[in-house]
């Protein structure tokens, strides 16, 4: 075969793959940055969303497990993650047309002088991008001292337009702080009290402020007990709740948020992105080769959950400029379960 022809074919395949790759992610970008009105969802929870709220209420030994996981997590992050990495299964990699956090910029609409709160900031990649592109201040919250140090170095490079708080975001208390936007990128599933978490966001948001949540996985799709058990069985040693769009909209609406918009990306869309493959599958390989057997098992089991077909959820809610009295705001730090959840507990038979 003519060498020139082979070279042309190879070049054509490379160019076509590059174009297809960028077009695919651009389509996902358009979908996420144009979320749908949520008026048709979030009016009731299915049986398994209700069951999750009851069964996954923290027990004392869960907090001990969480401490152990945090230490192991810091070891892995500190040794094997590049400082420039975007630490998440975030849908968007760096493309020809955009930055990985361009979608967050488009949804949150930062303007000079605004203050943002990043709950579960990871390495601070999103915060750095938003602060660098706009003259805003970002307060980052992480329970990882390793991540906090990385965030501080990033803020130092852009003139210090941010601060870092090292704390479990369930214990965060900023009674005199108010923000123009709050965002949680794939971190809300780690909260031990969803009602208190959302109520705290409501209190800290300024009127007209935006709350943006990316959350992989949900129980929206569960229709049978076997589906629910197959999902929850993988999380015997790692606390992560499936906070899907339906559950979030249900809780947000009862607090008084509105308007609320959402987008669900099916797994067949976001599961094919390179970021998902890189962070969930290659992490498995890296950790296994370095004998972090237990954490490898947890992460691998976590990754298998999403193969069941769980969507990637984006929910964007606005606090009204003249908010009405909310239907339900739980008392933070009192019980950890709302009145509604007590009612659910009574209505769900013991398994």
Predicted confidence at residue 38, as pLDDT, reads 97
Q: What is the pLDDT of residue 161?
A: 84
How far does the chain reach from its first CA to its final CA, in angstroms?
67
Cβ neighbourhood burial of 79 (10 Å; 0-12, 13-18, 19+): exposed
Residue 101 half-sphere exposure toward CB, CA atoms < 13 A = 24
Residues of the chain with pLDDT under 70: 1, 56-98, 221, 227, 230-240, 268-309, 323-351
| pLDDT score for 274 | 58
Q: What integer pLDDT is reported at residue 2 of this predicted model?
A: 83
DSSP conformation class of 331: P
Q: How far apart are CA 180 and CA 117, in angstroms?
A: 8
Put simply, whether the predicted model's pTM sits higher than 0.85 gets the answer no
Strands 137-142 and 115-119: parallel
> What's the confidence (pLDDT) of residue 146?
86
Say if CB 168 and CB 27 are below 8 A apart: no
Query: What domains does the chain contain, in order, with CATH numbers?
Result: 31-86+97-342 (3.40.50.150)
CA nearest to 317, candidates 227, 235, 250, 234: 250
Q: Could you please report the per-residue DSSP string of 247-296?
A: HHHHHHHHHT--SEEEEEE-HHHHTTSHHHIIIIIIHHHHHHHTT-HHHH
Give the per-residue pLDDT at 233: 59
Distance CA 290, CA 59 (A): 31
- pLDDT of amino acid 222: 72
């Amino acid at each position: 075969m003519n060498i020139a022809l082979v070279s042309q074919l190879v070049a054509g395949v490379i160019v076509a793959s590059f174009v297809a790759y960028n077009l695919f992610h651009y389509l996902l970008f358009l979908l996420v940055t144009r979320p749908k009105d949520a008026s048709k969802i979030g009016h009731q929870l299915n049986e398994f969303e209700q069951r999750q709220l009851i069964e996954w209420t923290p027990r004392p030994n869960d907090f001990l497990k969480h401490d152990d996981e945090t230490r192991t997590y810091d070891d892995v992050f500190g040794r094997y993650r590049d400082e420039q990495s975007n630490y998440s299964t975030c849908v968007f990699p760096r493309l020809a047309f955009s930055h990985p956090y361009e979608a967050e910029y488009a949804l949150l609409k930062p303007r000079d002088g605004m203050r943002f709160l990043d709950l579960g900031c990871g390495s601070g990649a999103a915060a750095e991008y938003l602060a660098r592109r706009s003259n805003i201040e970002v307060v980052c919250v992480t329970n990882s001292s390793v991540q906090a140090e990385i965030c501080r170095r990033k803020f130092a490079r852009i003139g210090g337009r941010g601060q870092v708080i090292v704390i479990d975001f369930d214990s965060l208390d900023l009674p005199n702080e108010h923000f123009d936007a709050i965002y949680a990128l794939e971190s809300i599933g780690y909260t031990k009290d969803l009602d208190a978490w959302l109520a705290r966001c409501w209190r800290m948001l300024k009127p007209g402020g935006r709350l943006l949540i990316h959350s992989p996985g949900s129980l929206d799709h569960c229709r049978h007990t076997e589906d629910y058990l197959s999902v929850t069985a993988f999380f015997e040693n790692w606390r992560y709740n499936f906070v899907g769009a339906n559950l979030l909209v249900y809780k947000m609406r009862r607090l008084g948020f509105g308007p609320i918009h959402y987008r669900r990306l099916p797994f067949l869309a976001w599961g094919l992105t390179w970021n998902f493959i890189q962070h969930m599958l290659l992490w498995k390989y890296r950790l296994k080769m370095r004998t972090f057997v237990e954490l490898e098992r947890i992460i691998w089991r976590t990754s298998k959950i999403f193969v069941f077909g769980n969507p990637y959820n984006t929910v964007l809610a606005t606090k009204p400029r003249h908010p009405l009295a909310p239907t339900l705001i739980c008392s933070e730090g009192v019980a950890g379960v709302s009145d509604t959840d007590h009612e659910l507990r009574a209505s769900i038979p013991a398994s």
